[in-house]
Amino acid sequence: MTGTLFGLGVGPGDPELITVKAFRMLKESPVIAYPKKRKGSKSYAQQIIDVYINQTEKEMLGLVFPMTKDEAILEREWLATVEAVWQKLKEGKDVAFVTEGDPMLYSTFIHMMKLMQELHPEVPIVTIPGISSVNGAASRLGIPLAEGDDHVAIIPAQDDYEKMKKVLMDNDCVVFIKVAKVMDMMLKVLRELGLSEKASVVTKVTSGEEVIWKLEELDRAELEYLTLMVVRK
């Protein structure tokens, strides 16, 4: 009998923000799949679950996800990754794939799930929702995302000045993820719209490495990938 593939959301960074159900699946699943860095350092999701598992009692399946836009490389590496997970599933072992935040919101697990469904449709797939960095940031910053009839948007920040400006004009609250690479441009948009005082920026929210930035510190700052911006008008 084929094992079940579980997509486990393990929260935004603080290990105590993992759900009871995700905790139980970590304990019950014989195989833990996790994003693995090529250089050998621990991935963010792996750091979050470290306190909950004894790696000598589990099969730890580290998966490398290439950071490239080369379609040929992406297809090759993704097929190899899905095959590695399938090898465990076809032995009848459940596999818990851990991902920071929620598995169905801008998660690596989404592509894993789609490819597994395409290549091995017989595999049962279950997702366990997790607290996203969006929710974590709202709580840590004390910023309500929406109330009443407010419009809220979650947007991957892009190098498109007019598009980012329109998003801010059209919504009451915007959470920009993946904002580090375009921070200088975003600061210009905020200043033009007079929204600088309405913006908050945080890196690795709720984790032991969390940094809540002052806007004046952000000009030409070297920011980590896991940085987001909340703008509440």
pLDDT in tens, 130-140: 999 999 999 99
**Placement of tokens 């995302």 in the chain:** 145
- Closest among 21, 81, 9, 7 to 48, alpha carbons compared: 9
Tokens of 194: 């007079």
pTM of the model: 0.92
Listed as ranges, residues in the chain with pLDDT below 70 are 38-41
> What pLDDT shows up at residue 41?
64
Average pLDDT over the chain reads: 95
Instruction: Provide the sign of the torsion angle of the four alpha carbons 134, 136, 137, 138, taken in this order.
Output: positive
Share of the chain above pLDDT 90, in %: 86
